[in-house]
Amino acid sequence: MSQVFTALSTSVDGYITGPDPSPEQALGRGGKRLFDWYFDGDVPSRVFEGFRMSAESARVFDRVAGRVGAVIAGRRTYDHSNGFGGDGGPHPTAPLVVLSRRPPPPGATQPFATGIEEAVAIASRLAGDRDIGLQGGQTTVAAIEAGLLEEVIVHQVPILLGGGTPLFPRSSPARELSRVEVIAAPGVTHLHYRAPALTTTIDRRDHAGASV
């Protein structure tokens, strides 16, 4: 069974974009600073072409990115990324499932789901023996509320953005997290937590054949 996790670059004040994100400026004002650590080292990523990180970050990043068999992103992330070209996603090899109550735009070929349980069921089928990565704060909170989120990985960048898209954009149920590791690297601190209290057993095959 695929594990469901989120791994997001976040400012110290808890934002995953800068202020005023839009399709023209997906990361908002100053938000690109959250991803400087992708390119500030000498070690090339084995998963993402063009990424060159510090040795510490490369080990963490490739371990996480290599787990991903499917990605779930919310409609806002999808729209602000211009639909990832209509058939792609944020990961170079993992297919994308879009969580949205609105119908797909013309030309989109990615599967769409109207609820997080359906999205996880579809993603689980697509992921095979790999895991499901969540993109976006709304998607992460929806998974928390449904009891489906099993791991939280925060790549915390030492910057205060002062606004933007928060990691947790609305209140979520209080849960205890179990710390797995903390790795300090140049320009970023990698925080890894498990969320065993959030995990709920569902039959992800319920929606495996759903038409979306």
Q: Domain residues for 185?
A: 4-18+29-207
Task: Classify the C-alpha dihedral 127-58-136-156 as positive or negative.
Answer: positive
The predicted-structure confidence for 78-123, as pLDDT tens digits, reads as follows 998 888 887 889 999 999 999 999 999 998 999 999 999 999 999 9
Residue 23 lies in a domain: no
Query: Encoding tokens for residue 124?
Result: 């689980």
Number of domains observed in the structure of the chain: 1
Q: List, for residues 34-58, the tens digit of each pLDDT value.
A: 999 999 999 999 999 999 999 999 9
From residue 93, how far is each of 42, 55, 70 by CA, in Å?
23, 23, 8
Residue at 212 is within a domain: no
**CATH number for the domain harbouring residue 198:** 3.40.430.10
In the predicted model, is pLDDT for residue 26 greater than 80?
yes
Does residue 189 form part of some domain?
Answer: yes
Residue 24, domain member (yes or no): no
44 in a structural domain: yes
